[in-house]
A and B are shown apart, each in its own frame.
Chain A
Amino acid sequence: MSPIDLAFFVLAAVAVLAGWRVFATDSMVRASFLLLVSFIAVAGIMLLLAAPYIGVATIFMMAVEMMVMALFMVAFMMNPAGLNPMMMVHQDRLAKVAGLAAFVALTAAVILTDLPDRAVSADASVIHDLGIELLGPSMLPFESAGVTLLAAMIAAVVLSARSGRFGPSDEGSRPPGLVPGGDPAGRIPDDERSDKTESGHHDEHES
């Protein structure tokens, strides 16, 4: 077994084990970063396949993506800080069947496809060729669309933020109750506060 074969088997084992632990851990943050470990191992295999850009870019993109994902999962799941243990799997049986079906289908695709075995010469400019293959002559429209979308996203946040141009974004909004028709969970809207002194102070402040 050559060192490259050995590296492949180690990286593949890390990818599979970390992928399994994603579903066995009890924390959203740990699950995100175990997935990151799995992706980094796959990126290592890409590097072994002489695809340097795809390998390194996978690490880069996945590190950012998993960080953002962990943050948003915690933000949306009402689990302050993400430190409380929680069950990471739902619909156990369906998930197992779907996972197994996907595994069988992908394995069949890999085995049945006539994969190319042309060796790439060591001095081939793979990154340049990949860029041409992906974008070709549409680089300028693609980049313009990207910058436009980014500007639109920033503008949307600037306009709608609580500190934004048109006043607090949550003005008049009412968080849902913990029981139907019950008291709002979390922040109570200013105009519904029973505490007279505080609302009086608030009105004074506004006038």
Chain B
Amino acid sequence: MIAIAAVFLLLLFGASFIAVTERLAHGGWRHAFASPLGEAARLIAQQATRTERPDGVNWLIAPIGYLMVATAGLSVVPFAPGVAVANLDAGIVLWGSCEALTIVLVFLHGWSANSLLPLIGGYRYVAVALPAMLISMFVLIGAALPARSLSVAAMVAAQEPIWNVVRQPLGLPLFLLLGLTIGLRGPFDYADGADLATGTSAEVSGRARLGWRVARLAMTTAFAAMAATAFLGGYLGPWRPGPVWLIIKTALVLVLMVILGRNLARMPAPWMLSLIWTLLLPLSFLDLVIAGVVALS
């Protein structure tokens, strides 16, 4: 029960934290706290538009499913020893299936609008997100190696002597790339990018748009908590209150993602695909080799 409440509190905290941090980074000190709420109120009151013959069911499912998948992904993250909603033996694989389902749902969000720009966004996103997910699975396998287990709790426990970010230095940077992709942030936002007039959300307005944006923030939060758990020692810290450490580390990863999202350059999708397949994927193999050698020695 405590764990379930903690998941929703962390989602709420993370989503509002990014919303405020992003506005602070933009230089809007005065309205940083009120403006997310104002924006939400504006979207609730806004009229909902419709395209010609959309796939209504899938259009509705996409944002709801995105939020559910973010929640499900966060459910494997332990807040303290033994405190997790789903203390699964195959926890890291469950997180992987949440990543895969995210790609499906973002694609459906673009496809079901029956409109040009959302459709391009959806297809373009799949091309970039699938290999990004591949990379994330390799670095997560690397992070699970020292624990000799697919359970997330065991992964945290195995970081007691030294955190994965130190012994597998390539892991966290490569994993952050996935976070930017599945949270649709910055240069990796090939689905909702500004170059496509917000892509898959171009035809979405009102409450549906609010739901989609909240789901994106929730997914980014779930990712940050997972990154903190897999590479930064999760709830481990010099003194006891574990959940506090997890929240601090999650917030740090979120700040890092806001900075990366604002400062990395946007690339044409074909360039990004070349970069991912020919440079970043081999790097993830190198990470796996490093993890294996360190685990054996």
Residues of A within 8 A of B (CB): 27, 29-30, 33, 36, 52-53, 56-57, 59-60, 63-64, 66-68, 70-71, 81-83, 125-127, 147, 154, 157-158, 163
The answer to whether the Cβ of B103 comes within 8 Å of any Cβ in the partner chain is yes
- Nearest residue in B to A58 (C-beta to C-beta)? B97
From B58, B96, B123, B285, give the contact of A71 (CB < 8 A): B123
Q: A33-B104, A66-B104, A154-B281 are in contact. Are A60 and B97 (CB under 8 A)?
A: yes
Which of B58, B93, B133 meets A56, CB within 8 Å?
B93
- Asked if residues B277 and A154 are in contact (CB atoms below 8 Å), the reply is yes
Q: B94 touching A158 by the CB < 8 A rule?
A: no
Contact B90 A127 (CB under 8 A): yes
Nearest A-chain residue to B88, judged by Cβ: A52
Report which B residues bind A (CB closer than 8 A).
55, 58, 88-90, 93-94, 96-97, 100-101, 103-104, 107-108, 111, 114, 119, 123, 126, 130, 133, 150, 270, 274, 277-278, 281, 285
Interface of A is mostly: helix
A67 touches B93 (CB 8 A): no
Q: Would you call the interface of chain B mostly helix, strand, loop, or mixed?
A: helix
User: What are the 8 A-B residue pairs with the smallest beta carbon separation, nearest first?
Assistant: A63-B100, A60-B97, A59-B97, A56-B93, A52-B90, A53-B90, A56-B90, A56-B94
Known: A29-B111, A63-B101. A154 touches B93 (CB 8 A): no
* Inter-subunit contact A68/B93 (CB<8 Å): no
- Least Cβ–Cβ distance between B197 and chain A, in angstroms: 18
How far does the Cβ of A130 sit from chain B's closest Cβ, in whole Å?
Answer: 10
Chain A nearest CB from B142 CB (Å) reads 13
Interchain CA distance A57-B96 in the complex, whole Å: 9
User: Which A residues are in CB contact (< 8 Å) with B281?
Assistant: 154
Residues in B whose Cβ lies below 8 Å from that of A127: 89-90, 150
Shortest Cβ distance from residue B65 to the other chain A in the assembled complex, whole angstroms: 11
Which of A64, A70, A81 counts the most B-chain CB atoms under 10 A from its CB? A64
